[in-house]
Amino acid sequence: MTVEIEFDSYWQDDFLHRMENDGPWGSWELFKLAIEVEKHLVIPDFEGLQAPNHLPNLTPLPHQLETAKQVIENMNGKAILADEVGLGKTIEAGLILKEYMIRGLVKKVLILVPASLVTQWAIELNSKFFIPAVTQRKSYVWEQSDVVVSSIDTAKRNPHRDIIFNQDYDLIIIDEAHKLKNNKTKNYEFVQNLKKKFCLLLTATPIQNRIEEIFNLVSLLKPGHLGSETAFYEKYKRDARSLNDDEHLKELVNKVMIRNRRADTGIEWTKRQVETIPIEFSIPELELYEAITTLRNEGDWIQASSFSVMTLQREACSSREAVFYTLKNMLQKKENPTPAFEEQIQYLIKKVEAVQQNSKAEKALELIQKVNDKVIIFTEYRATQMYLQWFLKQHGISSVPFRGGFKRGKKDWMRELFQKHAQVLIATEAGGEGINLQFCNHIINFDLPWNPMRLEQRIGRIHRLGQEKDVMIYNFAIKNTVEEHILKLLYEKIHLFEKVIGELDDILTKLEFGNIEDHLLDIFGQSSSEGEMRIKMENLSSMIEFAQDMKKGDTHAAAGNS
């Protein structure tokens, strides 16, 4: 037995001192209480989790407890947590952190998260885990507080950087760690230089990304786990697509990564029911839409402006207020507008003024009254948001607005108002960091976002852990407009709405090209005719289908939680 034994000599010296000076002595009652406590706080086993005993208000799900246990017992406290969105990675990280703190293995903790999540992390750790996490606001916080939450962009800059490197962290948690996939970035270098005794990397996107990115992420966590850089690339091609190709590599990665999937959690997820509601324009609305559409064929004035016809078309499908707001902006921003330009705008404004009703809003009202329950309406436009709030109020329906730009406190306040007092929440931006609204199960997509990921985020606000009812999604689309085309071409064709987030993640990463959002913007923004748009869309959807088929082939071989 060669383990070094340390004996706390401070107590002994103090005791002898008191023997000499005849006290002071403590009370027997307190002495007994101290022992009673200590017997409760002693950790009897290396294995198992103590944290749940300390968290009576939190009921972790089986997969979350299992993950925490795995990380501590089999991964030695260094892991990539890569659960699908909505399965509670934060809870898992909190459990692990709490367990280490209870066991006295971790005291000083650094938590690096995107700036928009800093407050939320601190609140969750405090309220759910009773961990006194502090947000970094002043530079002395680094030294004085044991658990600090900060954005990586703040942390990597001086003076913070130097102070951080002087701290002795026991545990480092990094949220959204997939942003560290490139080892040439400053962020990567910063994290690499940190001393990582225990370390958790949280990532929402699956790691079956490019093999290079896997190497970088794993090497950050555990250098050498995948070998040295040269040895690794000798064995695997740098531009290889997926680690599914190599069983051995997959196994290695799974030693440091846990990825729970919705399907594996054993939780009964409620269903999503999607209904597309086609809506007819009224005559003046149709005239406005057509006036905009014909602009495309009328000379080059529109190309000179930064606003596209497509934008105006989409806005016309939402509300006249949205169109008007853009037109006003176009006039104001144009330097030395030609008379023809001004005339054109004025012509459109006249058309806007001619519109007296909003067919979609009326449909929404009808639907809200029929549902007679809480409803979330998503729109892309603030003008529409304001109009809808006014419109609903005219009909005696209370609503609260919600925007991504609201400060944390205001967001929470709006959420509470919605939960307790209002029937409708009208939101312009779901935002990854938005709020959770499980108590509501109806969503109206008043207009559709270009980017399907945004749509997922919208639905994800309510279709998550804690949702007890089936989720109803109503998609509004005006007949014979660009909106209907989008819906047909993209969403219906690939049954996007029925997909859950993780599966979509996988599909998107299988795509051989970059950002799907860029593609959609290109298709809908740059196409000069509907025909071109349709062809490009066909292309995109067949590629997505192809990726889906590929996935079906190897679902069971995919890198899952072992």
Partner 1 sequence: MQQQEIHNYLLKYFQANDCPIIENKPGYLTVQLTIELDKQLMNRPFYWHYLEKTGGIPNPMSLTFITNKDKAPENIKGEIIHFGSPRLHQIFDSSKKLASYIRLYENHRQFNHQTPLLPWLCLNVKISYQCDRKRDIFKSIGLQLINGKMVEDFHDRLMQVPLTPKIPDYSFTLSPLVRPKSGMTRIENYLKSVIEQDDHTWADDARKRWDQDLRLLEHFYEEVEEEENENYETEKKALQEQYEPKINISFINGGIFYLTEKAI
Q: Are 123 and 132 in contact (CB under 8 A)?
A: no
- Residues 75 to 134: which contact partner 1 by CB under 8 A? 76-77, 103-105, 130, 132
CB of 223 to partner 1, least distance (A): 4
CB of 20 to partner 1, least distance (A): 10
Examine residue 338 and tell whether it contacts partner 1 (CB under 8 A).
no
Report the candidate in 551, 447, 450 with the shortest Cα–Cα distance to residue 499: 551
CB of 53 to partner 1, least distance (A): 6
CB of 557 to partner 1, least distance (A): 26
Q: List Cα–Cα distances, 344 to 313, 320, 330, 350, in angstroms.
A: 15, 17, 11, 10
Residue 46 or 513: the one with the smaller Cβ distance to partner 1 is 46
- Residues 226 to 255: which contact partner 1 by CB under 8 A? 227-231
CB of 279 to partner 1, least distance (A): 49
Q: Of 196, 261, 320, 363, which lies in the binding site for partner 1, with binding defined by CB under 8 A?
A: 196
Binding residues for partner 1, how many (CB under 8 A)? 71
Residue 25 or 513: the one with the smaller Cβ distance to partner 1 is 25
Examine residue 398 and tell whether it contacts partner 1 (CB under 8 A).
no
Burial of 214 (0-12, 13-18, 19+ CB in 10 A): buried
CB of 49 to partner 1, least distance (A): 12
Residue 428 Ramachandran class (φ > 0 left, ψ -120 to 50 alpha, else beta): alpha
Q: List Cα–Cα distances, 31 to 13, 15, 35, in angstroms.
A: 19, 15, 7
Examine residue 8 and tell whether it contacts partner 1 (CB under 8 A).
yes
Examine residue 167 and tell whether it contacts partner 1 (CB under 8 A).
no
Examine residue 409 and tell whether it contacts partner 1 (CB under 8 A).
no
Distance, in Å, from the CA atom of 356 to the CA atom of 280, rounded to the nearest integer, reads 15
- Residues 10 to 69: which contact partner 1 by CB under 8 A? 11-12, 14-16, 18-19, 23-47, 53-57
Q: Of 121, 198, 387, 524, which lies in the binding site for partner 1, with binding defined by CB under 8 A?
A: 198
Distance, in Å, from the CA atom of 151 to the CA atom of 146, rounded to the nearest integer, reads 16
Residue 4 or 268: the one with the smaller Cβ distance to partner 1 is 4
554 alpha carbon, distance to own chain's centre: 26
Q: Of 157, 186, 195, 410, which lies in the binding site for partner 1, with binding defined by CB under 8 A?
A: 195
Report the candidate in 124, 88, 93, 89 with the shortest Cα–Cα distance to residue 106: 93
Q: Are 145 and 134 in contact (CB under 8 A)?
A: yes
Q: List Cα–Cα distances, 539 to 477, 531, 542, in angstroms.
A: 23, 12, 5
- Please provide the DSSP assignment of 416-461 as one string: HHHHHT-SEEEES---TT----TT--EEEESS--S-HHHHHHHHHT
CB of 246 to partner 1, least distance (A): 18
